[in-house]
Structure 1
Amino acid sequence: MEAFIEGIVSELSLIALFAIIAITLYILSKGADLLVNEAVVLSEQMGIPKMIIGATIVSLGTTLPEASVSVVAALGGNSELALGNAVGSVICDTGLILGIAALISPLPIQREIVNRHGWLQFGAGILLVLVSLPFTSLNSIFTNGGHISRIAGFILVFLLVMYIYFSIKWARNSKDESTAVAVDVEKEDNNVMALVKLIFGVAIVIISSKILIPTVQETAIRLNVPNSVIAATLVAFGTSLPELVTSVTAVLKGHGELAIGNVIGADILNILFVVGSAAAFGSGGITVTPNFFKLYFPAMLFILTVFRIGTLISKDSLKRTFGLILFGTYIVISILSYA
C-alpha cells in the first residue's frame, strides 16, 4: 500500500501535497475523536476520576495518531520521522495544548493524581534522552547523534504495560462517585455500538497514517527540509489535534482536570508507546540525529520541567501565568526549528 501511495504522491504538485496533508490530518483527528468519545462512554461505566480517564483511556485514544504514524514510519526505515513526531508531540501537547487550556481558564489540580502521573511523565522524558545517548562517545552527540536500540524499545514497551497496569490499579483504588454512571440492561446495545465505533475510529487512524507518511516525506524532499524538522512541527501538531480539541473542549465545559490528565497521559504514551514500539519493531531501532540533542531534547525537558514546577507550586489550579510560559515556549521552539 505504501509503495502505491508513494507512486501517486510523487506525481502531484506541491499544492496538492499540502491539500492531502491537511485532509489526512483532519481525518486523523476525527478518527481519534470518534475513538475517544466512544472510549469515554465505555469507561464512565467504571466510575473512575476524570483525571485518570484523561490519563489512560482518552490519552491512549488521542495518542494513536502518533503511534500509527511513527510505527509505519519506522517500519519503512524513516526513524527520524518516528522519533521527531513523538518528541514534537510531547512539546506540542505540554506547551501548546496545556498552554492554551490554562490561558482559557486555570486548570483544576487533583494533587495526588497529578503528582503521581506527573513524575512518571517527567521521568519518561529523562529516560528517552538516556536511552538515546551513545555512552561510549558522548562527546560526539552534537555531530553524530545517537541511537535507540531495539532492546531499549522493548524496555519502553514493557514499561508501558506496567504503566497501564498500575493506572488501572490506581483507578480502582480511587473511585470517584461523581463520574459513576449506573449500568442499565437497556444500555447493553449502546455499549456494543460504542465498541464498534471505537474499532472504526482505530481503522480510520491507521489508514490515514499510511497516506500521511509518504505525503510528508515527498513534501519534505520538495522543500529541502529535514524530515526531523517536519515531524517535530507540522506532523506533531497535526497528530496532536485530538489532544488539542479534547483539552479545549474539556476546559470550556468546566472539566479542566480531564485536559491535564489527557496531556500527561499522552506524553507518557508518546514516549513509552510511540517511541518504544517504533524502536522495537522498526528495522535496527531508531537513529537519533544531532538535531534532537541540539534542540528537541532540551526543549522537551525544559517544557516538562516548567509544567512540573507549575503543578508543584500551584495550590488548587494551574494558573494562566504558567499557561503563558508554556505557550510562549512552544512558539519559540517552533521558530527555532526553522531557523
Structure 2
Amino acid sequence: MHIPATTLTQSIFCFAFCAAIVWFSGARLAYLVDDLADRFKMAKSLMGLLVLSLATSLPEVATTLSAAIQQSRDLVLNNLFGGIALQTAILAMSDFWARGAITNYPRKANHALEATLLVFLLSVALIIINLGETFVLWGVGLGSCLIALLYVAAIWLLRRYDASSDWVPVDLPDPDPLPFPAPSGLAESGNASLIWQSLAACAAILLFGLLIVVFAQRIADQSGLGTGFVGVTLLAAATSLPELTTSITAVRIGAYTMAISNIFGSNLIMLVLVFPADILFRAGPILQGTPPMVSLALSFGIAVTAIYLIGLIVRRKPKLGFVGLDSILVLLTFLASMAAYYYVR
C-alpha cells in the first residue's frame, strides 16, 4: 500500500485522525467482548487474555513482522520490549476510572499468575540477551525458540488454572459494574451480529493501527528524533493505543479482570513475537548483539509487572485518593524509563 509523501504537519494530522479511529474501534471492541463473554458464559479474564489482548496486539504483530522483513533489528526489539512498560502504564492510567485500586477486584489468583509468568519470561529474555544467543539453528536463536515454548506452556497453565479456586481473597470490593451505558442496540443484536462487529473492529484496529505506525515513523524522521528512542517511545505508544482505549472502556463498564488480563496478555504476546521475528530476520539471531536500550526496556518491564504483582497479593494496599499506590508507582517507574531511554539513546 503506497501512501503519498506528507509534511510534518500533515503527518501529525493523519496520525491524530488514525488514532481517533483506533480509539473508537477499541472502545467498541471492549463492549462487544464484554457482552460476548456474558452470552457465552466465559470468564472475562480469559476473554481478556485470549481474545482482547490478541485483537489489540494486531498492530504490534504487523509492525514487528514488517520490521523483521526489512531487517530492522532495533525497530523490532524496541517496539516489542519498549511497549511492555508502556502497556502496563496504560493499566495504571485506567485505574483512574475504577472505584478504588484496580488490583483489589480480582477474585482468583489468575492475574497474579499472569504477572508471575510474565516476569519469568521477561527474565528469560534478559538472560538470553546477556548470554548473546550462543546456540543458533538455521539462523534462528534457540533462545527465541525457548521463549515461544515457554509462552505456549504459560497459556496452557493459565487456561488450566482458570477453573481452579484454591486461592480466595477476602474483603473484596463491590463487583457490580459502573453505571456506564453500553452502546444503544447492543443488547438487541444477535450473537452473529456481535461477532461480525467484533471482526470489523479488529480490522479497523489493524488497518488504522498500521497507518499510525507509518505516520509515527514519518514524524520521527521529519522531527529528527533517533530511531531507537522513537521505537521505545512514539512507535510503542502508537501501537499500544488499542490497549489504552480497550482497557479504559473495560474499567468504565466494570470489567476489571478483563482489563488486567488484556494488558498482561498483550505483554506476553509481545514476548512470543520475538520467535517469528527471528525467523524473518536473516542477518543472524535477532536477540544477539542488541543495544543497551533493549536490556533496559526488559528490566523496566520486569519492574512494573512486579509492582502490580505485589499489588495483587497485598489486598489492603494504600491509596492516593481513589487510585491504588501500585498504579502510582507504575506510572512513576514508566516516567523514569522514558528518562532512562532518552539518556542511553
Structure 1 and Structure 2 fold alike (TM over 0.5)? yes
- For 2:294, which of 276, 292, 295 is the aligned residue? 292
Match status 1:156 vs 2:147: yes
| Counterpart in the other structure of 2:11 | 17
Displacement of 1:85: 1.7
Q: 1:237 to 1:157 in 2, by over 3 A?
A: same
- Within 2, Cα distance between the matches of 1:247 and 1:286? 31
- Within 2, Cα distance between the matches of 1:78 and 1:35? 31
Q: Which has the higher helix share?
A: 1
* Equivalent residue letter for 1:219: I
Match status 1:100 vs 2:93: yes
| Counterpart in the other structure of 2:248 | 248
Q: 1:92 to 1:220 in 2, by over 3 A?
A: same
Scaled by the length of structure 2, what TM-score is found?
0.76
- Within 1, Cα distance between the matches of 2:133 and 2:48? 40
Scaled by the length of structure 1, what TM-score is found?
0.77
Displacement of 1:35: 4.6
Displacement of 1:116: 1.8
Counterparts of residues 1-339 of structure 1 (less than 5 Å): 1=1, 4-5=2-3, 8-9=4-5, 12-94=6-88, 96-104=89-97, 105-107=100-102, 108-135=105-132, 149-171=140-162, 190-272=190-272, 274-284=273-283, 285-286=285-286, 288-293=290-295, 295-315=296-316, 320-339=324-343
| Counterpart in the other structure of 1:182 | none
Gaps of 5+ in 2: 166-174, 177-186
Number of aligned residues: 310
Displacement of 1:237: 1.9
Spell out, residue by residue over 1:72-96, the C-alpha distance to the aligned partner (whole angstroms, 9 max, x if none). 22222223222212222210121x2
Asked if structure 2 preserves the Cα contact closer than 8 Å seen for 1:59 and 1:262, the reply is yes
SS in 1 for 2:109: helix
Asked if structure 1 preserves the Cα contact closer than 8 Å seen for 2:8 and 2:223, the reply is no
Q: 1:226 to 1:256 in 2, by over 3 A?
A: same
Pairwise CA RMSD of aligned residues? 3.2
Displacement of 1:29: 4.0
Spell out, residue by residue over 1:293-326, the C-alpha distance to the aligned partner (whole angstroms, 9 max, x if none). 3x32322222222222222233599961111111
Spell out, residue by residue over 1:169-204, the C-alpha distance to the aligned partner (whole angstroms, 9 max, x if none). 444567xxx99xxxxxxx9x8332333333333333
* Equivalent residue letter for 1:296: A
Spell out, residue by residue over 1:211-252, the C-alpha distance to the aligned partner (whole angstroms, 9 max, x if none). 344433333233332222112112222222222222222333
Asked if structure 2 preserves the Cα contact closer than 8 Å seen for 1:75 and 1:282, the reply is yes
- Tell me whether 199-208 or 122-131 shows the greater mean CA deviation: 199-208
Asked if structure 2 preserves the Cα contact closer than 8 Å seen for 1:72 and 1:209, the reply is no
Q: 1:121 to 1:60 in 2, by over 3 A?
A: same
Gaps of 5+ in 1: 138-147, 180-186
Spell out, residue by residue over 1:243-300, the C-alpha distance to the aligned partner (whole angstroms, 9 max, x if none). 222222233333322222222222212212x33332233444536222223x323222
Asked if structure 2 preserves the Cα contact closer than 8 Å seen for 1:109 and 1:317, the reply is no
- Within 2, Cα distance between the matches of 1:333 and 1:28? 26
